[in-house]
Amino acid sequence: MFINGKFTDGKSTESIPVINPATEEMLDEVPRGTKADAHAAVAAASASFLDWKRAPANERAAALHQVAAKIRAHHDEIVELLTKEEGKPIPENDEEVWWVEETFDYYAELARHETGRVIPPGDPDQFNFVRKEPYGVVACIVPWNFPLLLLAWKMAPALAAGNTVVIKPSELTSLSTLKIVEVACGHLPPGVVNVVTGYGPEVGEPLVEHPDVPVIAFTGSLDIGKRIASLAGPMMKKLHLELGGKDPMVIAPDIDLNVAVSAAAYAALLNAGQVCTSTERVYVHESIFGQFSEKLVDFVSKLRLGNGLEEGTDIGPMIRNKFREKVELQVAEAVNAGAKILTGGKRPANMTRGFFLEPSVITGVDHSMRLMREETFGPVIPLMPYKDFDEAIHLVNDCQYGLGASLMTHDAKLVKQYFEQVKAGTIWINDPLTDNFAGPFGGMKMSGLGRELGQEGIDEYYEVKHVHWDIEGKLKEFWYPY
């Protein structure tokens, strides 16, 4: 762990093994942190807050640019460790670490741009302004699927705004987080960044419930998001929740089929389908449904499963067996209810180690199936035909989640109807899952609260204060007596 500028085992007497999901071998161990460790980290972050808050924005910007530069200097090493720990192929981790570097640079600049606004006064002798102020200690609770990117999307804006942070990485992927802190955060004042490894109930909850932690920035599952909200809500904490999704993709009949097939496969199978914005439902116009599914089956069946470290691997393992079993169960239930697997869906016979699952394409599905309603988080592409665009939009919105939604078309009328009527935090037209530093990312409905990235992504870490200043300070006619 990393508390108050030092690596430590804290009060922990046990460790948590970190497993390589491609080989099932133990890579290393991390301390099983305790409530006392969480509290020690909060104390360190609280103690360093005032100085960090008062540091000129230019100084904080320089420090964050230095974080980015140091990560860049260790880029390949971090990519390799992340691949061993999380499983996705090198090109995907290469991109993840690039995002981390760029996010620190982006927020370093954004935070020195402005910290509020001057507003028109009600009287010429008055001066009114709005200050954006950091909250204090931010708990960053992060999942395993993009452990560094999702950390950077919280940590960089939180620090840039003048907050200090306590990071609780996923117990499955703590090594790469510790590595980043080791190589890139040594120049920051002690206590500004802290990492406490361990399990959610043992480390996460003490952070959520700590009275000196006013902001909880969480990315993870809906169930844990609800648990955190139930603990933090009564304490009136600022909640930033990036939760699950069940993202749709609609394929319109005008689109080039090869483009649509490739886009759907990428959007559904990136990181073995373990992306919060994975396409998990594909709606295809009935006039091209047969052709599309044939081409998709051909494309998907040629993708190569393997260890993410090996060149030529398209799809790595799933993170753990229990996540694979959940996917298998959803697929089996759908098949029992009449769905048909066109390709894949099995554990590869020739790979005895690693949590691999063949990517599958499935038809005959409908919204009564859990496969079409609940988050799957695995390499599965269920296809459903639609007759007209109104029906497609209805199907897209018939979901508790509203994270992202994709559309493949060149028809401007359909595009307009889609972005106006679909309830989702991000709409992708012809380029699924592409994020933008300046574009806010987050969910509507049960996909969460708040946004990461963009100006919105730093505003999450400021609270605003209105200052009303009557410079003359004369007696007011409207004061007592009436």
- Contact between 200 and ligand NAD by CB under 6 A: the answer reads yes
**Residues whose CB is less than 8 angstroms from the CB of residue 126 and which lie 6 or more positions away in sequence, other chains included:** 468, 469, 470, 471
Pick from 204, 248, 308, 450 the residue near ligand NAD by CB under 6 A. Answer: 204
- Contact between 202 and ligand NAD by CB under 6 A: the answer reads no
Pick from 57, 142, 155, 181 the residue near ligand NAD by CB under 6 A. Answer: 142
- Contact between 92 and ligand NAD by CB under 6 A: the answer reads no
Count CB atoms within 10 A of the CB of residue 145: 26
Q: What would the DSSP string read from start to end of 171-217?
A: TTSHHHHHHHHHHH-TTSPTTSEEE--S-IIIIIHHHHH-TT--EEE
- Alpha-carbon span 213 to 165, nearest angstrom: 9
* Least CB distance to ligand NAD at residue 168 (A): 5
- Contact between 276 and ligand NAD by CB under 6 A: the answer reads yes
> What tokens were used for 129?
């302004």
343 - beta bridge partners? 361
Pick from 21, 33, 143, 359 the residue near ligand NAD by CB under 6 A. Answer: 143
> What tokens were used for 291?
């052709």
- Contact between 295 and ligand NAD by CB under 6 A: the answer reads no
- Contact between 177 and ligand NAD by CB under 6 A: the answer reads no
* CB of 70 or CB of 227, closer to ligand NAD: 227
Pick from 105, 171, 280, 314 the residue near ligand NAD by CB under 6 A. Answer: 171
- Contact between 208 and ligand NAD by CB under 6 A: the answer reads yes
- Contact between 88 and ligand NAD by CB under 6 A: the answer reads no
165 - beta bridge partners? 138, 193
* Least CB distance to ligand NAD at residue 278 (A): 8
Q: What is the DSSP letter of 243?
A: -
Residues 319-358 that bind ligand NAD (CB under 6 A): none
Q: Which residues are catalytic?
A: 242
For residue 189, say if its preceding peptide bond is cis, omega within 30 degrees of 0: no
Residues 212-251 that bind ligand NAD (CB under 6 A): 219-221, 224, 227-228, 242-245
Pick from 448, 450, 454, 457 the residue near ligand NAD by CB under 6 A. Answer: 448
* Least CB distance to ligand NAD at residue 117 (A): 29
Pick from 32, 132, 168, 451 the residue near ligand NAD by CB under 6 A. Answer: 168
> What tokens were used for 461?
């870490």
* CB of 289 or CB of 441, closer to ligand NAD: 441
* CB of 415 or CB of 427, closer to ligand NAD: 427
Residue with tokens 């373990």: 274
Q: Decide if 367 contacts 398 (C-beta within 8 A).
A: yes
Residue with tokens 């932690």: 213
Nearest partner of 302 among 263, 343, 268, judged by Cα: 343
Q: Decide if 442 contacts 448 (C-beta within 8 A).
A: yes
CA distances to 246, 248, 262, 299 from 425, rounded to whole Å, are: 12, 12, 23, 29
* Number of residues this chain uses to bind ligand NAD (CB under 6 A): 33
* CB of 150 or CB of 192, closer to ligand NAD: 150
- Contact between 201 and ligand NAD by CB under 6 A: the answer reads yes
- Alpha-carbon span 229 to 358, nearest angstrom: 36
* Least CB distance to ligand NAD at residue 276 (A): 3
Pick from 16, 155, 399, 403 the residue near ligand NAD by CB under 6 A. Answer: 403
- Alpha-carbon span 58 to 64, nearest angstrom: 10
* Least CB distance to ligand NAD at residue 444 (A): 11
**Residues whose CB is less than 8 angstroms from the CB of residue 448 and which lie 6 or more positions away in sequence, other chains included:** 225, 241, 242, 243, 403, 442
- Alpha-carbon span 224 to 136, nearest angstrom: 23
Pick from 145, 176, 177, 363 the residue near ligand NAD by CB under 6 A. Answer: 145
Pick from 41, 140, 141, 453 the residue near ligand NAD by CB under 6 A. Answer: 141
Window 362-401: contact mask with ligand NAD (x via CB under 6 A): -------------x-x------------------------
Q: What is the DSSP letter of 420?
A: H
* Least CB distance to ligand NAD at residue 15 (A): 15
